[in-house]
Amino acid sequence: MDNLGIAFDVGTTTLTGALWDLDSKALIGRTAIGNPQAKFGADIIFRLSNAMKGDAERQRLQASAVEGMNRIMGLFEERHGIRRADIKKITAVGNTVMRFLLLGEDPSPLAAPPYAAAQDAATVEAAALGIGAAPGAALYMPPGLGGYVGSDITAGLLATDFCGLPGCTLFVDVGTNGEIALCAGGRLLVCSAAAGPAFEGASLSMGMRAHGGAVERAEIYGGDLHITTVGGKPPRGVCGSGAISIVAALLDAGILEGTGRMRTAGELREMGLGEALCSRVTESGQVREFVLCGQEGGARVAFTQKDVREMQMAKAAIAAGIKALLARAGVDGGDVSGLLLAGTFGNNIDVRSARRIGLFAGVGGEIVSKGNAAGDGASLMLIGGAEAAEAGRIAGMAEHVQLADEPGFQDLLVGEMDFQ
């Protein structure tokens, strides 16, 4: 194996790599690590702010991303006995901020309206970035689709043959910056929705990423709450998918009103709700919360009224973005034949719960998780002959919609604040 390639998905949280034999087009291995840039900030806004401080800080961010890529290559060396000198081709995809930080470009166009940063395809010498591959090896990054809709979405649309699917179809990557694409009537419309960090767990009172001990599911049956945690570990916080599940369960039980208000324990007793659930609603000072665990010993984990509001704002941003694209295309939710969910978070969402809270704006059709579609698209461009050109075609047909400029968008946003 002396003709190898690596496809990278440079995510805000996770950096993944897929190692391929370019001659046989066989996958040798995949691996993932945390993005080393996390030390500069947990989300893209913090990192963007750091990069804006000057060249030195921007270079540190770039070096950190490259460090992660080299670390993945080192893992491939150890696990598969390959030589870095045989890595002759690299592709990389990522959101708009990750692109600028990896390539060391000035990200200032992303910091203020109209957020019109150029995202053309880029080919650079790997060694020039500090990537330890074969002499002369090039890194290719496909074009983004406009604004905060980056090359990761281009790659995802490529991997799912999104533009070739029949009917009216949505593609949604849920996160701090939700990225949405709609294919309808031969048009490809894209936008980004500023959902905030609730889906990453960052803005929740006991929020955490989906690591061991994070509450990821909540169900109410037999008169009480039952939770599931990541890895079956003792509960210690709530991740984004868990928050969606919790809100859905509280809505189903009547503990939350459609407005998002959490009813008091007294109100719930008057409604005839069982004591096991009523006793979970507590108030301390001005904070009303629903206790998930820890009433009888162990770590106490709770979901507060403020957490509910954070989830309302996050889901409203995604739902309003979907409705804005539908309105621009002249279609409605009932016309949607399918919705593709991308990214790690999309894989972990309980679809019923997401529908219950109104995350998908009441659209019809089947909802399918597509896994790491961005990484799959990066691999296709690495090993294929025509895929890079197809990525360029997708970028060329995309119509980027700046939500803040859309007539009536603020009304849409407010209208989606309530739960369904």
Report the distance separating Cα 163 and Cα 180, nearest Å: 13
Spell out a b/e string for 71-108, using b for 16 or more CB atoms within 10 Å of the CB, else e. ebbebbeeeeebebebbbbbbbbbbbbbbbbbbbbebe
Q: At what angle do helices 305-329 and 240-253 cross, to 10 degrees?
A: 100
Helix ranges (DSSP H) in 225-274: 240-253, 265-271
Report pLDDT for 196.
81
Q: Report the 10 Å Cβ neighbour count for 42.
A: 18
Residue position matching structure tokens 């709770």? 302
On whether both 178 and 239 belong to a single domain, the answer is: yes
Please compute the mean of the pLDDT values over residues 165-184 and round it to a whole number. Answer: 92
Element (H, E) at 170: strand 168-173
On whether both 415 and 282 belong to a single domain, the answer is: yes
On whether both 212 and 320 belong to a single domain, the answer is: yes
Q: Which domain holds residue 67?
A: 4-141
Whether 139 and 99 have beta carbons less than 8 Å apart is answered as no
Report the distance separating Cα 77 and Cα 6, nearest Å: 12
Is residue 171 pLDDT above 70, yes or no? yes
Report pLDDT for 345.
79
Report pLDDT for 116.
67
Report pLDDT for 160.
96
| Close Cβ partners of 339 (under 8 Å, ≥ 6 residues apart) | 169, 170, 171, 172, 360, 363, 365, 366, 367, 368
Report pLDDT for 298.
73
On whether both 216 and 266 belong to a single domain, the answer is: yes
Last residue of a domain, one of 141, 164, 180: 141
On whether both 81 and 168 belong to a single domain, the answer is: no
On whether both 182 and 277 belong to a single domain, the answer is: yes
The count of structural domains within the chain is 2
On whether both 126 and 171 belong to a single domain, the answer is: no
Last residue of a domain, one of 141, 173, 192: 141
Element (H, E) at 312: helix 305-329
Is residue 344 pLDDT above 80, yes or no? no
Please compute the mean of the pLDDT values over residues 197-223 and round it to a whole number. Answer: 92
- Domain of 135, CATH number, reads 3.30.420.480
| Close Cβ partners of 75 (under 8 Å, ≥ 6 residues apart) | 31, 33
Q: Which two tokens stand for residue 281?
A: 């609603």
Longest dimension (CA), the chain: 74
Report the distance separating Cα 250 and Cα 219, nearest Å: 9
| Average pLDDT of every residue of the chain | 93
Count how many Cα atoms sit within 13 Å of the Cα of residue 312 in the half-sphere of its side chain.
21
Classified as helix, coil or strand, 298 is coil
Q: Supply the DSSP string of 23-78, one letter for each residue.
A: TTTEEEEEEEEE-GGGGG-SSHHHHHHHHTT-HHHHHHHHHHHHHHHHHHHHHHHH
Report the distance separating Cα 145 and Cα 364, nearest Å: 26
Is residue 332 pLDDT above 80, yes or no? yes
Report pLDDT for 297.
67
On whether both 228 and 377 belong to a single domain, the answer is: yes
On whether both 129 and 201 belong to a single domain, the answer is: no
Last residue of a domain, one of 141, 161, 186: 141
Whether 132 and 73 have beta carbons less than 8 Å apart is answered as yes
Phi/psi zone of residue 104: left (φ > 0), alpha (ψ -120 to 50 degrees), beta? left
Report pLDDT for 331.
95
Reported as a pLDDT band with limits 50, 70 and 90, residue 1 is confident
Report the distance separating Cα 396 and Cα 190, nearest Å: 12
On whether both 107 and 156 belong to a single domain, the answer is: no
Give, in degrees to the nearest 5, the angle at Cα 335 between 321 and 157. 60
On whether both 118 and 241 belong to a single domain, the answer is: no
On whether both 216 and 356 belong to a single domain, the answer is: yes
Is residue 364 pLDDT above 90, yes or no? no
